[in-house]
Structure 1
Amino acid sequence: MGKTETTFEAANKVMEPGPLSEANPTGTWKDFLTIAKLGIVMSNLITTFAGFFLAVKYTNLNFTEQLVPMVLCLLGAALVIAGGCCLNNYIDRDIDQLMERTLERPTVTGRINANQVLWVGIVTSAVGTLLLALTTLTAAVLGLIGLFVYVVVYTMWLKRTHSINTVVGGISGAVPPLIGWAAVDANLHPIAWILFLIMFLWQPPHFLALAMKRCEEYRNAGIPMLPVVSGFEMTKRQMIWYTAALLPVSLYLYDFGTVYVILTALLGTGWLVLAISGLRAKDDIKWARMMFVYSLNYLTIMFVAMILVNIK
């Protein structure tokens, strides 16, 4: 349920917009995909599917017999995440106009009416929750928890008041693998919680790198991100602690086999070394950019590897 603006955003740029309707010629499907943050939805679906796939394996079910629950799970999760992103756009339209990276959002330019965004967010979230409930009630409840943390706790409250916003907001981004697992097995296995913890620890260094890159924009918008409030040195130390904690947690899934352990150790160690190198970095923004890119590749490779090594 995350906030991550990933490399999947490139997909948005190549999609041709089309008129939403004759009554609203300025609104396009691309505009609505933009406010739904398609990149975030797609990246979160990778972790959702990983949770679902691993749950099928560890409950000894036949994957081909779980195709309907899988579709309901992925579609439901996608709609809940997209709905949360729409609500985030609706709530943040006052500060989005103060930041360069969000200045062209349809909610800022007026290409989509604010009330439309609000109702699209509400309806999409509701439909997604219903679809998740058709798998298990636990999956639906987890979706609602992620939605509440992202929209209410993070967007409406902590993002505007406290630098801990990145950490607490990470809860919503860590929920998707739990949703995937719960769609198969409502009695969440310890592995499901390890997936949650991996996602939770991954997010602070990822988003703090972004916050460093956009520090002055956040400062101008009055958003108390950690780099704005405490400076780059404190931010870099925090990022080191999170990447260091992530390494042993990811290795806890040693049951996935030798290939997974070696790959995870190399990826985690590489990220930790890069994080530590930031203490002597001459160009903090360049270093933050490298951390951001590495985090995206780390997450994708890790979760794809979890799936591949468990295919039998």
Structure 2
Amino acid sequence: MSDTALDTRTGAALGGYEQATAGVGDFIALLKPRVMSLVVFSGFAGLMLAPGHLHPVLAAVAILCIAVSAGAAGAVNMWYDRDIDAIMTRTQKRPIPAGKVDPDEALAFGVVLSVAPVILMGLAVNWVAAGLLAFASAFYIFVYTMWLKRSTPQNIVIGGAAGAFPPMIGWAAVTGDISLASVVLFALVFFWTPPHFWALALFRRIDYSDAGVPMLPVVAGERETKRQMLAYTVLLFPLALTPYVLGVSGVAYAIGAAVLGGLFLLSAVRVLRAEEGDYKPAKQMFAFSILYLFLLFALMVGERLVLG
């Protein structure tokens, strides 16, 4: 798409803020609640799996801080990406490109909600967890959103670190430190992120191409993307068993992780073997990837609650 056409479509989509009156639901939408839910759950899992005890009120404060910080980063992301969001079919109805929320209001909303939970986490819980929270938010906004996303097809690989911090933050909220076990929980999300997002990028390739975002399928093609998805999924299989090796989880988790890992591998193989242009396996893998990560953490937490 030409720059002129892109500017025309963007300008049309971003008009009408003066007439728009944003509702509460529009500001909630800025927080990307569906994305936030998995982030919050992984943070909760880190908190539950950590050795030691945190008062229930402080635990609730820690989870709230993780949730608000994640949502705030999403709001700033929507503010910065409002031009390309107006181009992509998947994102055109977001509050800013739809003309429901003024960009300046969205930015102010995101900045305030980025700072507040870090301060609260530090004062109420501990400053190690607060520092990790601040770093994760800054990494997502400045490194991923403002730098990597539009400059390299490895945007998701490197930028995915931001979304991998919540279990480490939850762990640090209890222990006040960073351990090998919490790094493994971080790594689980980190290595899960590329096949998860590249599955989406495969069947949304045209959207990313029109918006000028160099996602791997746009730059390297479908075949190479599928190979790399399989490679990360293969690496993820033994990594998902590491919590059992470290004693963070038990046999029930190990069996569940092996089964889920096998199904995730099968999904990646089906994507690799699919004909170019056949995106049904990619859509199925994307949907399953969300369930996969949720069930991994649910197994760990469930086992901890049952066995103590």
TM-score by length of structure 1 reads 0.88
Residue matched to 1:37: 32
Residue 73 of structure 1 pairs with residue 68 of structure 2:
no
More displaced 10-residue stretch of structure 1: 302-311 or 249-258: 249-258
In structure 1, give the amino acid aligned to 2:261: G
SS at match of 2:150: helix
AA in 2 matched with 1:94: D
Partner of 1:299: 293
The question of 1:98 aligning with 2:87 is answered yes
Residues 265-290 of structure 1, C-alpha deviation per residue, up to 9 Å, x if partnerless?
A: 01001111221222221353111101
User: 2: distance between equivalents of 1:275 and 1:82?
Assistant: 30
Q: Deviations over 1:125-158 (max 9, x none)?
A: 1111112112111111111111111111111111
Aligned residue number for residue 19 of structure 1: none
Counterpart in the other structure of 1:285: 279
Tell me how far apart the structure 2 counterparts of residues 198 and 98 of structure 1 sit (CA, whole Å): 32
Please give the residue correspondences for 1:194-205 in structure 2 after superposition, counting only pairs within 5 Å: 194-205=184-195
Unmatched segments (≥5 aa) in structure 2: 1-18
**In the alignment, structure 1 residue 163 sits paired with structure 2 residue 153:** yes
Give the CA deviation at 1:182. Answer: 0.7
Q: Map of 1:141-290 to 2, 5 A cutoff?
A: 141-254=131-244, 255=247, 256-282=249-275, 284-290=278-284
For residues 216-243 of structure 1, the C-alpha deviation after alignment (integer angstroms, 9 at most, x for no partner) is 0000000000000001110011111111
Pairwise CA distance, 1:180: 0.4
Partner of 1:310, secondary structure, is helix
Secondary structure in structure 2 of the residue aligned to 1:219 = helix
Query: What is the CA-CA distance between 1:258 and the residue it aligns to?
Result: 1.5
2:96 alignment partner AA: T
Q: 1:189: Cα distance to partner?
A: 2.4
Kindly provide the amino acid, as one letter, of the partner of residue 146 in structure 1: A
1:135 pairs, out of 108, 111, 125, with 125
Report the residue type matching 2:31 in the other structure: A
1:188 counterpart SS class:
coil
Task: Report the residue type matching 1:150 in the other structure.
Answer: Y
For 1:126, the aligned partner's letter is: V
Q: State how far apart, in whole Å, the 2-side matches of 1:73 and 1:219 are.
A: 39
Q: Paired residue for 2:9? A: none
Q: What is the deviation of 1:25?
A: 7.5
Say if 2:102 is the partner of 1:113.
yes
Partners of 2:268 and 2:74 lie apart in 1 by 29
Q: RMSD over aligned Cα, in angstroms?
A: 1.5
The total of aligned residue pairs comes to: 284
2: distance between equivalents of 1:195 and 1:89?
A: 27
Report runs of 4+ in structure 1 exceeding 4 Å deviation: none
| Offset at residue 215 of structure 1 (A) | 0.2
Query: What amino acid does structure 1 have at the position aligned with 2:128?
Result: T
**Matched position secondary structure for 1:253:** helix
Matched residue, 1:15: none
| 2: CA distance, partners of 1:252 / 1:207 | 23
CA contact (8 A) 1:84 1:150 kept: yes
Deviations 1:173-208 (A, max 9, x none): 100001101111122222111100001011000000
Q: Is the 8 A contact 1:243 1:275 kept in 2?
A: yes
